[in-house]
Amino acid sequence: MKNHSYNLLFAIMFAIPVSGMAADISHGKSLQQENCMSCHDDGVYTRNDRRVTTLDGLSKQVKRCELTLGLQWFDDDINDVTAYLNESFYKF
């Protein structure tokens, strides 16, 4: 019985953070369309000579754009936009 209690405890400990880490693609799309499109269109994501070549690079670029526009997004917002752009355009 004691072993079962430990297994349940570990399952609860690890289930909560994982569920909180899932990106909200639709929220990312909304943020991207409301903010990013003021500087460029979707062509920047699909051009042949794009500068972003990794998922980490994409996340850093989203953060740079967020800072440039003075948006003060939360980390979850940056993750949501990154996930949306990756799913829709980059496919890393």
Residue 9 has pLDDT above 90, yes or no: no
Burial of 78 (0-12, 13-18, 19+ CB in 10 A): buried
What is the overall mean pLDDT for the chain? Answer: 85
Q: How many domains does the chain have?
A: 1
Tell me: the pLDDT tens digits for 24-52?
999 999 999 999 998 899 999 999 998 89
Q: Tell me if 70 is assigned to some domain.
A: yes
Tell me: the pLDDT tens digits for 61-72?
999 999 999 999
Within 8 A by CB and 6+ apart from 77, the residues are 27, 28, 31, 66, 71
Residue 7 has pLDDT above 60, yes or no: no
pLDDT at 17: 44
Q: What Å distances lie between residue 66 and 28, 60, 62, 73, 85, CA to CA?
A: 13, 10, 6, 7, 14
Q: Tell me if 33 is assigned to some domain.
A: yes
pLDDT at 16: 42
Q: Tell me if 16 is assigned to some domain.
A: no
Type of residue found at 43: G
Q: Domain of 58?
A: 24-90
We report the CATH number of the domain holding residue 69 as: 1.10.760
